[in-house]
Amino acid sequence: MAKITCYGEVLWDVFPTHRKIGGAPLNVASRLRSFNHEVSMISAIGNDEAGEKILKYLKERQVDTQCIQTLNDCQTSEVKVMLNEKGSASYDIIYPRAWDKIQLTEQAKETVTKADAFVFGSLIARDGTSKNTLFNLLEIATYKIFDLNLRPPFYTENLLIHLMNKADFIKFNDDELYEVSAFMGSKYHSLEQNIMFIAKETNTKHICVTKGPHGAVLLYNDQLYYNSGYFIKVIDTVGAGDSFLGSLISQLLNKNDPQTAIDFACAVGALVAQSEGANPSLPIEQINEFINPY
């Protein structure tokens, strides 16, 4: 099994009727740990009950929390989640919160240096402190996995281009791919053409694009792999993309065939979307039965 470090936001997703622990890198970390990888989380919480509960949650799931900083002058993050009639989510992300102020520490640098992969997103770079820490960690990370996870207004074109150029693996959803391709000057219309355009412009051999209910496309070492999705009844989409990414990373780091990897990841994403919350428990037997029901 691999050693993986996830960097970025840890928070509470606040729904109209309930609260759930989340944050894209935390969700990825939680899913990776469920597949028995050795997972560490680098982030920050406030010195408050909400932060203590996040720490407890991660420790119960055996995610290493030694690099989660507790700050006295910042609150643990809460994000208001709004779901439309199709279960798709939009977010109200308050600034600043503790994860905006992650300090660069020797322990964090050592953790990243020892990891087989380093997972990060764009949202964590909305504040100069956490952005500076990210930029430093990217210089020492072995295999850098960038999940765009665009949340307006917390990104710029220059930031995204910089992070893509640092990454070894980039994950988009289809809307993000077209947005980024357009501002980078792509003249293409098809998904595949724009994937190849981004791969060439950023010198990235591994790119994945999710397509909501229609599955995903994976570029892996010059070969394209497809999954067309699974029929489900969506409860909410919160965390589905994160579990997809965690599952895909798990499969690829375990040296599984890329087609097997994307089929598995799409199944996990679908199972999360038909469940409540970002991190439902999904035994491997349930995932395999979902992929091969007969």
> Which structural domains are found in the chain, ordered by start?
3-291 (3.40.1190.20)
Instruction: Summarize pLDDT for 21-67 with one digit per residue, the tens.
Output: 999 999 999 999 999 999 999 999 999 999 999 999 999 999 999 99
φ and ψ at 58, to 5 degrees?
-70, -40
Q: Please tell me the predicted confidence (pLDDT) of residue 278.
A: 65
CA distances from 90 to 16, 151, 236 (A): 12, 9, 11
The mean predicted confidence, pLDDT, of the chain is 95
Alpha-carbon distance values, 117 to 28, 87, 164, 271 (Å) = 12, 31, 15, 25
Residue among 1, 216, 270, 254 nearest 287 (CA): 270
Residue given tokens 């281009």 in the structure block: 161
Cβ-in-10-Å burial (0-12, 13-18, 19+) of 256 comes to middle
List the one residue out of 78, 68, 77 whose CA is nearest residue 44: 68
pLDDT at residue 276 greater than cutoff 80: no
How confident is the model over 76-99, as a mean pLDDT?
86
* 85, pLDDT greater than 80: no
Tell me the two tokens of residue 159: 């930031």
Q: Which residue's entry shows tokens 């992300």?
A: 93
